[in-house]
Amino acid sequence: MSARHALFSDREVAGKIQCILSDVDGVLSDGKLYYDSTGAETKTFHVRDGYGIKAWMNAGLHFGIITARHSDALSRRAKELGIQHVVQNSSDKWATATEMMSAMGVTPEQVCYIGDDVPDITVMHRVALAAAPDDASIDAREAAHWITRLPGGTGAVRELIERLMRAADRWPSVSKEPPC
């Protein structure tokens, strides 16, 4: 366990977090690149991540996506979920995160970033809560405060969101209408 794995309660950190920024490949998807017979790239996304993202945004909280790659599949999925803050082809994730936080009206002290590899670490080191999926690179796991039990693309973002929302008493009760 690295020094980044600070000892603080979920409730202490969850109340401060107003925004989640997420990488895509290896976080919202399994990190594998799939090409169909025409050469078009395809991705798979887990429906539970979608439910979690919708629940987060329906609670009045911010969600953004930052990725170094471009994917039409991501554009479609983000549109389906109503995610307004999406930057693809980011060559500097910290600069992109800074612009996105400014647009959302949040500070790094209010942000959680979930990433899985070296390009994510600059953001992970500068926000209040850094998270990584279970199968993230060694460097990303060492930079993370929280590591999900699930690997990327299998509901790791939902796990993170649910942990934050439950700790802050924001998770939708079973008796309420679903957010999707």
List the one residue out of 32, 39, 102, 28 whose CA is nearest residue 66: 28
On average, the pLDDT of the chain sits at 93
Domain that holds residue 130: 10-167
pLDDT over 90 percentage in the chain:
86
Residue-wise pLDDT for 89-125, tens only, equals 999 999 999 999 999 999 999 999 999 999 999 999 9
Specify if 43 maps to a domain. Answer: yes
Specify if 19 maps to a domain. Answer: yes
Residue-wise pLDDT for 32-79, tens only, equals 999 999 998 899 999 999 999 999 999 999 999 999 999 999 999 999
Specify if 120 maps to a domain. Answer: yes
pLDDT at 2 over 90: no
CATH classification at residue 112: 3.40.50.1000
Domain tally, the chain? 1
pTM of the model: 0.91
pLDDT reported for residue 12: 87
The shares of helix, strand and coil residues in the chain, as percent rounded to the nearest 5, are 35, 15, 45
